Amino acid sequence: MERVVHFNYTEKWYVFILLLILCQFPIFAVALETDTHKKINEYITANTLNGFSLDAYLKNQLNFSNGIEEEFTSNKTKKVWEWVQFGGEYEDIPYWWMPYLRSVNHFHNPLTGQGFSGIWGTEFLAGESSIQWSQEPIGTQSPGGHYSWFDVREYFYNALTSTNKTDREKNFTDTFRGLGQLMHLVEDLSVPEHTRDDGHYIFYNYEKWVKETIKTIADISQFTPIYFDSSAIGNPNPLAPVPVANLFDTKQYNGTNPIITTYYSQNYFQRTIGLSEYTNANFLSPDTMLTADFPYPNWSSIYEYEEIIDNTGEKRTYLGKFKDGENINHLAAGRLFYKYLPSPLRHLGLKLDKRVYSDYAQKLIPRAVGYSAGLLDYFFRGKMVAGISELFYDSFCNIIGIKMPYIQNSTNKDAMGPGNLIVSYQYKLPGGGEFIYGTSDEKPLNESIGSSYISSSAFTFNFNNPIPPNAQEIKLTLIFKGKLGNEGIYPYNNEFAVAAQVLPAINNNCSVTYREFESLVIVYPGWQKVAFSYLKINGEYRYEPLPENQVYVFDYQNVHPIYIFEPDTVMTIWCEDSYRNLPVKTGDWAKTILYDFFGGRLRTVIFNGSKTVYDDITGENLGPCNNCNDAEHIEYFSKFEPHCERLTPWEEPPPPP
């Protein structure tokens, strides 16, 4: 159903007029109070519910060392659980000047499939069903931002694959806030008004009672959650593309079969009914008190009784519900004149009081918690297992790719694929600092892998930028985007599932060694030649051309200036507060030449036991250097007479051994 109301930033005057109207109905369209949503969301993120823990997921599958305590920054900095909590509030009040304009889309009548019909059925401020609202296409949910299921899926994928820290954090904040907003929509369907097209305009209602009663997380913990069967959430749903809509409405209750909302049969408790179906069929709202608009509850399901309500012995008439679904001791209360009304008007003498609200809460709060926890579980349900069988290096020990012999789909029940796979990585350079992020190329997964099965092929991923040999704290994450169970289509447009799994830790164990110098050809600065050499990488000889005018020789930790030394000696390169000994190899060429990538500057050199400064081009002894810095006595020369024979013209090297 197309939305009736669309607002954007340019329509502020229209919004202002609507706010003036809303001020006349201050409780209009407020479901569970925002404080209640925040507490429920916090409780869910902090606990393991129905076998799922967000904290454990973030630590084990995304390698967030702090779990739900991990901080992300957008326009403000919050922890993961705080962003989910914030989403519970934001869905009702996106901005201070736009309270509750999203809330008109928080209704769903399971008997009609429609949302809010407007104030007193006039279509003024009507909204769409919360199912459609929750599954608006990417970038279309309005007013107040884009936080549909598809939007949040895209935020999650972008967060996992962003190579910019600012973009990554912004997408993670939108992911967790958006999940809090989607959980809010599920929780609202535990409010009878939101399933019975009742704008609840009165000043004291069920939501107010819940807010006064549930003040802390400990108060929520007193309710034992009731869950939707997690194995059935993924069943196809005719109301929306993503099966998570089953949490809202499964289309089993049709107005004639209220027993389906609580039992499959006499003794089998119902765990696969939508929350709106359960609430609609078993509870009343202020403007739908046993009226003809809703077939259940009805008078045939009800008995009357008197109950003392205070210390004076005053009694009040209550209606109890004993069949046709849920049994409820306090379904409604009679007003003073209730018994004096004729049967056709008796519904006008009913009200909902605190005892009624208490009974409602005992049934509805457990489902608000359990069902919204189910949404979080379903969003993160994708699981994979993959190992790395090989690392690929270039000539200088940069990691340029990885190979996985297979990928196992560890998702419960749902098949994975077809879709695409990508690897994201992060690392730090020596000395600390921020993580550096990158990704591989994307590889197609052209098959559907059943739950617990492995792929029929291996995958090789090439990194868009190499990981350097001195990288530290390397973390790789495998990411799937595509069809998962009944979520997503392929080839996908804007409908896709996402799964992610951190890969086993890797270390760069590559080593580069040069052969004897007779197979090393060097090009000095100023030569118009291309150098080449035989490199031995992880025990394998390779021929690698080198960039013009540059020579690469590694000591496995640092790159140093050019020096020319005589054979059978030992030089020590001093680098800040550490040094290492490098033997000068012997051979026909018998020279050691190191090139400085950072400007050709001289370092202090200990040669044959004396601390001496040598010219970085000629090798001339410039005398002792006890307290000099790296730049003293130094110039970069563009010409010099090399100490070894020049190859003219170009000659191919002999084959490696």
Average of per-residue pLDDT values in the chain? 77
Output the DSSP codes for 359-372.
HHHHHHHHHHHHHH
The 3-state secondary structure of 255-313 reads CCCHHHHCEEECCEECCCCCHHHHHHHHCCCCCCCCCCCCCCCCHHHEEEEEEECCCCC
Residue 110, pLDDT > 50, answer yes
What is the rounded CA–CA span in Å between residue 120 and residue 200? 10
| Domain positions in the chain | 9-259+359-379, 384-502, 512-624
Residue 110 and residue 115: Cα distance in Å, rounded?
A: 9
On the 0-12 / 13-18 / 19+ scale of CB atoms within 10 A, 82 is buried
Say if residue 15 is exposed, middle or buried (CB neighbours under 10 Å; 0-12, 13-18, 19+): middle
Task: Return the bridge partners of 21, or none.
Answer: none
Residue 474 has pLDDT above 90, yes or no: yes
pLDDT tens digits, residue range 50-79?
999 999 999 999 999 999 999 999 999 999
Question: Binning pLDDT at 50, 70 and 90, where does residue 207 land?
Answer: confident
Overall average pLDDT of the 365-378 stretch: 97
**What's the pLDDT band for 462 if we cut at 50, 70, 90?**
very high
Bond prior to 653 in cis (omega within 30° of 0): no
Element (H, E) at 643: none
Fill in the amino acid letter for 346.
Answer: R
The count of other CB atoms within 10 Å of the CB of residue 191 is 27
Helix, strand, or coil here: 375?
helix
- Among candidate residues 146, 139, 131, the one with its CA nearest the CA of residue 91: 146
Token readout for 249 is: 């409405």
Q: Could you tell me where the DSSP H helices lie in 487-537?
A: none
The distance in angstroms from the start CA to the end CA of the chain is: 74
pLDDT surpasses 50 at 514: no
More reliable by pLDDT, 519 or 190:
190
Residues 111-164 have pLDDT tens digits of: 999 999 988 677 788 899 999 999 999 999 988 899 999 999 999 999 999 999
Give which of 241, 156, 146, 184 is closest to 42, Cα–Cα: 184
Question: Per residue in 262-272, pLDDT tens?
Answer: 985 555 678 99
9-259+359-379 and 384-502: identical CATH topology: no
527 confidence band (pLDDT: 50, 70, 90): very low
Sequence-ordered alpha helix ranges (H) in 139-164: 149-161
The CATH topology of domain 384-502 is Immunoglobulin-like (2.60.40)
CATH, domain 9-259+359-379, list 1.10.575, 2.60.120, 3.40.50, 1.10.3470: 1.10.575
Q: Is the pLDDT of residue 177 over 90?
A: yes
In this structure, the dihedral spanned by the alpha carbons of residues 168, 171, 173 and 176, taken in order and rounded to 10 degrees, is: -120
Question: Which residues, in sequence order, are bridge partners of residue 404?
Answer: 459
Q: How far apart are CA 147 and CA 139, in angstroms?
A: 8
